[in-house]
Amino acid sequence: MNIKVVTGGILEKDGKFLLVQEKQKICEGKWNVPAGGLDESESLMEGAKREIYEETGCKVEITGVLEIVNEILEGVNVICFFFDTKIIDENIKVDGEEISNVEWFTYKEILNMKDKLRADGYFLSTIENKMNNKIQPTEIIKSIRK
């Protein structure tokens, strides 16, 4: 069985959420939350911070767990961990390799662009969890290194 672990986070400021526009062929032009594959020997939270920084230029602190999504996609078991974040350093820049644009959107604007969202906006419930303060403590994830 092929398994892929994806980590990412929700960045919110002044009622707006930061989305990235994908450049990869499979989802070119679609908007998504900053997220990506976990690197070997990287914890879930380390991976989320790295992916957010690589895709947006923002440094964040992980403050909670918003949602865990499990999707079977073309024979791959994809497990996504989405975190709540606090922006430490907002230095927005476009990755260029994987990302073509980075922009802030209100939740209403995001709802109105459903056809432009990656995977039909499966991450909308993650944003709703953030808006409704449905945030789990990071302590529910135990990282053990040996």
pTM: 0.93
pLDDT of residue 27: 82
Q: What residue numbers bound the domain in which 121 lies?
A: 2-134
Bigger pLDDT: 47 or 1? 47
CATH number of the domain to which 102 belongs: 3.90.79.10
How large is the average pLDDT for residues 108-136?
92
pLDDT over 90 (residue 26): no
Q: How far is CA 9 from the centre of its chain?
A: 4
139 falls within a domain: no
Count of domains for the chain: 1
List, for residues 64-80, the tens digit of each pLDDT value. 999 999 989 888 999 99
Q: Are strands 76-89 and 16-22 parallel, antiparallel or unpaired?
A: unpaired
Cβ neighbours for 44, distance < 8 A, ≥ 6 positions apart: 5, 7, 38, 81, 141, 143
Q: Is 145 inside a domain boundary?
A: no
Mean pLDDT across the stretch 132-145?
94
Asked, for residue 58, whether it belongs to a domain, the answer is yes
In a domain, 62, yes or no: yes
> Is 24 domain-assigned?
yes
Tell the residue number behind the tokens 């690589």, with chain if given.
Answer: 54
The answer to the question of residue 141 being in a domain is: no
